[in-house]
């Protein structure tokens, strides 16, 4: 089963994907992790990706999509996988569908997370991430604080605030860009009948773990 997580930063898609991964055994796959792995292993695709990343440019689809598909073909992803934040455009979605079809696979479920904008901004301003790249556990000092302030519960490393999470104006801009890029993608998957939209908001007392539990129940039916 191939699941795609959609949602602006702060909606909790990484957290929800992590819970589903833990409960199902399916890997949580993000393009950032794939890039770092290929670059560290000095694969041909990794070398090409690094050329763009080092210049601060977006990695082209002809490099990104094959990397994702290669990851989906690895042994631990054969029964299921969760794509966290990919694809980001309809062009990527179309290419992914085409390649998956050639492998006898398809996108089975797309989880689209929605959270009120002001709540998203507050979440990002109060988000902290483990500095250990092998851990990267995410916390929120209001909603999900660590047991010891500034220290990761899982590995004991220092927590940090991402640079792009400290500026409200920059966060506004990122959310606007995300909305513009993603609305066609939401329509694309809705037309295919695989879209499931979930509202994640403290205002209605429905958080990421609640959404994750409901999805896991449906997957296991």
DSSP states along 109-132: EEEEEE--HHHHHHHHHTEEEES-
Give the pLDDT confidence score for residue 151 in this predicted structure: 96
Block residue for tokens 């990794």: 46
In this predicted structure, the answer to whether residue 27 has a pLDDT above a threshold of 80 is yes
Query: What's the residue count for the chain?
Result: 221
Q: How far apart are CA 215 and CA 198, in angstroms?
A: 10
| DSSP, res 158 | B
> Model confidence over 128-141: pLDDT tens digits?
999 997 888 889 99
Give the pLDDT confidence score for residue 142 in this predicted structure: 87
- Comparing 105 with 55, the larger pLDDT belongs to 105
Least Cα distance to 20 among 204, 160, 196 occurs for: 196
Strand, coil or helix: what is 24?
A: helix
> Average of pLDDT values for 199-219?
89
In this predicted structure, the answer to whether residue 33 has a pLDDT above a threshold of 90 is no
Q: Which residues are catalytic?
A: 13, 88, 127, 162, 174
Are the C-beta atoms of residues 17 and 28 closer than 8 Å to each other? yes
Long-range contact pairs involving 24-28 (C-beta distance under 8 Å, separation at least 24): 24/80, 24/216, 24/219, 25/79, 25/80, 26/1, 26/77, 26/79, 26/80, 26/81, 26/82, 27/71, 27/74, 27/76, 27/77, 27/81, 27/82, 28/82, 28/84
In this predicted structure, the answer to whether residue 214 has a pLDDT above a threshold of 90 is yes
Angle at 39 between CA 17 and CA 63, to 5 degrees: 75
Q: Which two tokens stand for residue 16?
A: 């929800």
Give the pLDDT confidence score for residue 174 in this predicted structure: 80
Q: Which CATH number fits domain 2-116+181-219: 3.40.50.300, 2.60.40.2300, 3.30.450.20, 3.90.550.10?
A: 3.40.50.300
| DSSP, res 77 | G
> Model confidence over 113-125: pLDDT tens digits?
999 988 989 988 9
Global pTM reads 0.80
> Model confidence over 90-112: pLDDT tens digits?
999 999 999 889 888 899 999 99
Give the pLDDT confidence score for residue 177 in this predicted structure: 81
Q: Which two tokens stand for residue 88?
A: 């980001």
Q: How far apart are CA 64 and CA 48, in angstroms?
A: 10
Q: Give 186's pLDDT tier (boundaries 50, 70, 90).
A: very high
């Amino acid at each position: 089963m191939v699941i795609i997580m959609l949602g602006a930063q702060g909606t909790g898609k990484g957290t929800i994907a992590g819970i589903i991964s833990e409960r199902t055994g399916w890997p949580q796959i993000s393009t950032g992790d794939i890039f770092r792995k290929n670059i560290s292993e000095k694969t041909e695709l990794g070398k090409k990706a690094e050329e763009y990343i080092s210049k601060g440019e977006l990695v082209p689809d002809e490099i990104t999509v094959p990397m994702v598909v290669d990851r989906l073909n690895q042994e631990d992803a054969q029964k299921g996988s969760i794509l966290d934040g990919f694809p980001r455009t309809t062009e990527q979605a179309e290419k992914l569908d085409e390649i998956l079809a050639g492998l006898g696979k398809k996108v089975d479920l797309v989880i689209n997370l929605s959270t009120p904008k002001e709540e998203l901004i507050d979440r990002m301003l109060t988000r902290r991430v483990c500095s250990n790249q092998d851990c990267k556990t995410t916390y929120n000092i209001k909603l999900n604080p660590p047991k010891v302030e500034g220290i990761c519960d899982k590995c004991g490393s220092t927590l940090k605030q991402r640079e792009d999470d400290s500026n409200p104006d920059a966060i506004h801009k990122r959310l606007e860009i995300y909305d513009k890029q993603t609305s066609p993608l939401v329509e694309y998957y809705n037309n295919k009948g695989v879209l499931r939209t979930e509202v994640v908001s403290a205002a209605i007392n429905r958080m990421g773990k609640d959404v994750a539990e409901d999805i896991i129940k449906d997957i296991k039916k």
